[in-house]
A and B are shown apart, each in its own frame.
Chain A
Amino acid sequence: MKYAYYPGCSLEKTQRGYDESVREIFKTLEQELIEIEDWNCCGATIYMSVKETVSLAVSARNLALAEKMGLDIIAPCSSCFTILAKTNRILSQIPEMHKNVNEALAESGLSYSGKTRVRHPLDILVNDIGIESIIHKAKRSLNGLKVAPYYGCQIVRPEKGFDDRENPILMDKLFSKCGADIVYYPMKVRCCGGMLMTTFEETALKLNKELLECAEKHQADVIVTTCPLCHMNLEGYQDKINEIYNTNFKIPILYFTQLLGIVLGLSESKLGLDSAFIPVTPKLKSIMEVQYV
């Protein structure tokens, strides 16, 4: 299959590990990702402060570009995924809005009829490609690695999407088939605070401390994430949490695509694992060192 790839702003550089691993695993699984040319910010960040037509038109420009390519969008960033899907929903439910947005898009010769579907890589991997076909290509087993699957908010909420809203299980299923031991992680959909890390830091630090605490209590070797914002908060602020709460967390945070890439036999550098702040635990290290033929 071919997809219109929408990396989103944070995957361009700060979260390059997510971008690199998505591209690599899709290549390995023989799926083609064609980056949308000259995509723009999905508008998540401006949603609060501009009026509707502006935020919807900014986001719809990307949908229109993908429609021109005749492909569905694949958006790894949870925020982009939610915003693009939300734009689709509003445009289909409020015809007047759809008309207005098209009027704005027409300024640059674009139009959007509403056909582009917005998909998340987790959904495509498990529901389209299928766990069996992935396992078929597996080169390494996760060998009892203790994994805490953290889904965060925006890929499962607010609308009923590709997984359960209260207890999503796609990553649990995927990685247990890859040989991992999925730990009990009741905080799997609890919020990381998102942008609160910038606006109300104290509150966000507490939320993330609780997420880390829960993973540690259940002896997770690694937390896997699906969202750049969660990833940044859990990884980038772990030091600060340790400092403030007098804790000693050293939990590696991996994108689910990076962990899957390891299973598929891809190298550390291809998966952008050299961009991680927290070194992987010895157990994961030994899995990564397994050579295969």
Chain B
Amino acid sequence: MAHLSIQSAGYMSKNEAELRRIFLEQVNFIPAGERIKRCIQCGTCTGSCPVSYAMDISPRQLIALFRAGEMETIMKSRTIWICASCYACTTRCPSGIKITDIIYALKRTAMEKNYLSQAKHVQILANLFVSNLMKYGRLHEGTLIRNYYLKVGFWKLFKLIPLAKKLYQTKRLSLFPKRINAYHSLSKIIKKAQEIDLRITAPPLEYSTDYVGYRALGEMKLEQRKGE
């Protein structure tokens, strides 16, 4: 595990506080996101995760590191990118923590702050998704995959030839993207939504961003867990 970067017990560096702020803002948009406070470190998430063997930090450790004020370690991890969003952890967590959504929030934080040492290719793919949608209104898999491999290593495209051939033979390969008719009204919606995103201020945090560990949790409110 990485060395501790906390300056003194209970307080955190400026960078850490900033990462925490962005992340918690995202968590606020997850319904029942505040349950992150209730992790009992049981490890059920890690045990349920089909890819934990390939992670450098387990899902349980993610939460422990967040608590300990080690956001930066999380940001540099491979874990958040290799999560396949299968929701196995979320389904089984005895505390009802939305771990998959929390990992999405971590991904977004990492993207915003450019922590991409493990994930340049993931970001490339994500950006291509967005531009594909903006351009056509629907996803055109052929264009996406081609552009992706042109950016991450065009020689890999050759490896896909057998698959492309099969798709072609079975009439499953569409060569050209098609724009939806309502493309203009979709772009207007997206443009407006982008404006709204800029002016949104997240509701006040229940967390203290100045503290780490249990002090950061503030008062624990253990609401009744309704059957979800």
Contact = CB atoms under 8 A, between A and B. Distances in A.
Nearest to A194: B84
Contacts of A43: 133
Given A48-B108, A198-B125, A239-B162, A90 B133 contact: no
A78 to B, nearest CB: 11
Contact of B50 (A40, A166, A190): A190
B57 interface: no
A207 B88 CA distance: 14
A49 B108 contact: yes
A236 B166 contact: yes
B186 A61 contact: yes
Contact of A275 (B170, B181, B194, B196): B170
Nearest to B166: A277
Interface stretch (A134-142, A151-159, A212-220): A151-159
B167 interface: yes
A160 B129 contact: no
A119 B145 CA distance: 29
Interface residues of B, number: 63
Contacts of B115: none
A45 B120 CA distance: 17
B174 interface: yes
Given A104-B192, A194-B86, A198-B125, A13 B174 contact: yes
A162 B85 CA distance: 20
Interface stretch (B37-45, B64-72, B136-144): B136-144
Interface string A97-111: 100110111111110
Given A41-B139, A52-B197, A203-B54, A14 B172 contact: yes
Contacts of A41: 133, 137-139
Given A38-B182, A54-B190, A166-B91, A49 B126 contact: yes
Contacts of B98: 158
B197 A198 contact: no
B51 interface: yes
Contact of B29 (A15, A45, A94, A153): A94
A276 B170 contact: yes
A193 B137 contact: no
A61 B188 CA distance: 12
A47 interface: yes
Contacts of B167: 14, 236
Contacts of B228: 159-160
A191 B50 contact: yes
A58 B133 contact: yes
B200 interface: yes
A274 interface: yes
A195 B141 CA distance: 12
12 contacts: A45-B133, A48-B111, A49-B129, A57-B193, A61-B186, A100-B200, A101-B193, A103-B196, A108-B189, A157-B87, A191-B84, A196-B51
Interface of B: 29, 31, 50-51, 54, 81-82, 84-88, 90-91, 98, 100, 104, 107-108, 111, 121-123, 125-127, 129-130, 133, 137-141, 145, 148, 162-163, 166-167, 170-174, 180-182, 185-186, 188-194, 196-197, 200, 203, 227-228
Given A38-B182, A49-B126, 12 more contacts: A41-B139, A46-B130, A46-B133, A54-B194, A58-B133, A93-B31, A107-B189, A166-B91, A191-B51, A193-B50, A194-B84, A274-B170
